[in-house]
Structures are given as structure tokens and as C-alpha cells.
Chains A and B, each alone.
Chain A
Amino acid sequence: MSIWDYANPTRFMQTTGRILPWVMAAAALLLAVGLTWGFFLTPDDFRQGSTVRIIYLHVPAAMMAINAWGMMLVASLIWLVRRHHVSALAAKAAGPVGLTFTLVALVTGALWGQPMWGTWWAWDPRLTAFLILFLFYLGYIALWSAIEDPDTAADLTGLLCIVGSVFALLSRYAVNFWSQGLHQGATLSLDAEENIADVFWYPLLVCIAGFGMLFLGLVLLRTRTEVRARRLAALLARERMA
């Protein structure tokens, strides 16, 4: 059994049909536990006060916004190299999910930034890279909608995805490249001295897992819809020709 067996739409639909309810249930449980723990059971930060609770939304959303583009890149490369339709459809399905996570990161960041920095927005390297990533998501979705032939759309959106990966990387590492800017460095670190305190870290981990499962569940659900839509289009085309 190889991973490429899942490139077969029938096998993909069978397998994902079985695991999707479990993934969605895990996402709901992890998000309910993580957000309840973070919101109700953690103390205020000594410097940021109660706004530290925004971390349980902002950090997981920002991580998934970047990871979603990474997943789209891998799926697009598989399409461009091996021409597996399911992988192109998975990349297409992930676009709106990544866009929504990017928007959540931008909105919660603005709401967090206003009381902490005194401004909703600054042309800071990380914020700017994230805004460009958001625009790339919009462009990616628009390009899929604008091209009628699905294979051509998959080719061109795959190329756009490769170009946009530069900004996905920049939005992750911009604070390391440029020291100026309002946004602080990485929230999470393997260095115990730099990492956030355990009291915030554990619920944050649960929320990150919840956002990850929600992403996986939504991408599977939307990919299944795309596979069905492809089959529907083929049947309708056959009806028109009959």
C-alpha cells in the first residue's frame, strides 16, 4: 500500500469518508478544551494583561495560515510533477481555508495590537508579509475561478503557489531577517528560556492541535466536494452531448 494509492479518487473518497467524522470530532473537542482552558483558566500576563488570551487564537491561526500554503505547495508540486488530480483538488480546497486562517490572524492581530502598540496596523515586516500572503490567497482563489479548463487552472495556480511560497516563508521568518518592526519574535521556542510560560504554553498547544485538526477536516471535506463536483461536471457534459 503506497501513499499514491490515495491519488485514486475512489480510494480517496472511501478512506476520507471513514476518517472525516473523527477528525472533525477531534477538532471540536480540542478547540473546546483549549479555548475554554485558555480563556477561563489562565491568569493575566504581567505586561499584556488580559489581552494575552488572544494568543490562543492569533498564534494557531497564523501558524495554520502559513502551513496551509505549505500544504498547497506540496499538493501543487505533486500535481505539476505526477499529474494526480486529487492533489490539485486538495490544493484548491485548501485555499479558502488558508485565506480564512490568514484573516483570523490579521484581525486578531489588529485587535491585539491596538491596546498594546497603540495602533491597529503598522508596516512591520511580519505584518506586511502576512498581508501579502493574504493577497496571494485571494489571487490563488480568483485564478481557480477565472480559468474554465481545470487542468490549465491547476497548472497556473500551481505556479502561483510556488511564487507565493516566498511570502509564506517571509511571513514566518521576516522578524529574523529584519530586526525593526513592532511584532515580537517567535512566540514558541525550543529554548525553555525564550518560550512562553508553561501556564500559557499548554493550553496554546491544545489550541494549535485543534486548529490543525480543523484545517485537516475542512480540507478533507472540501476536497471530497471538489472530487464530486468534478464527477458531476463530467456527467453533465455527457448529458449535453447525448
Chain B
Amino acid sequence: MPDLGRYAVAVLGSYGAATALMAGLVAVSLWQSRRVRRALRAAEARAGRNHG
């Protein structure tokens, strides 16, 4: 760990905030993707049953 001196709060705060924001965006994007994919599969299955 480098010695950040009196700027430790600014540097670590920046890395913490950026990581939280970007990880949050990735997590939300993956969650939305899975949710929509599941709902689409269910709807396609229903449509297949109705037309089959």
C-alpha cells in the first residue's frame, strides 16, 4: 500500500466512490438482463403452448 499521506481520504474516497458506482451499474445491468430474459422465456413458452 503506497503512503498517501494527508491526501489518503481524497484518494481512497475517489477509488471507493468510483468502484461503488461502476459495480452498482454492472450489478443493476446484469439483474435487469436476467429478469427480462426469464420473463421473455416464460412468455415464449406460453405463446408456444397456445399455438402448439
Interface set of A (CB-CB < 8 Å, partner B):
35, 39-40, 44, 49-51, 53-54, 57-58, 61, 96-97, 100, 103-104, 107-108, 111-112, 114-115, 214, 218, 221-222, 224-225, 228-229, 231-232, 235-236, 238-239, 242
Contact = CB atoms under 8 A, between A and B. Distances in A.
Contact of A50 (B11, B24, B29): B11
A225 B13 contact: no
7 contacts: A50-B8, A53-B4, A100-B24, A222-B29, A224-B33, A225-B32, A238-B47
Contact of A225 (B2, B36, B44): B36
A108 B18 contact: yes
A239 B7 contact: no
A71 B11 CA distance: 30
Interface residues of B, number: 34
A51 B10 contact: yes
A114 B37 CA distance: 44
Given A221-B29, A229-B36, A232-B39, A57 B14 contact: yes
Contacts of A225: 29, 32-33, 36-37
Given A50-B11, A104-B22, A228 B29 contact: no
Given A108-B17, A238-B47, A242-B50, A228 B40 contact: yes
Contacts of B50: 242
B36 to A, nearest CB: 5
A49 B24 CA distance: 30
Nearest to A222: B29
A17 B28 CA distance: 19
A235 to B, nearest CB: 4
Contacts of A235: 40, 43-44, 46-47
Contacts of B8: 50
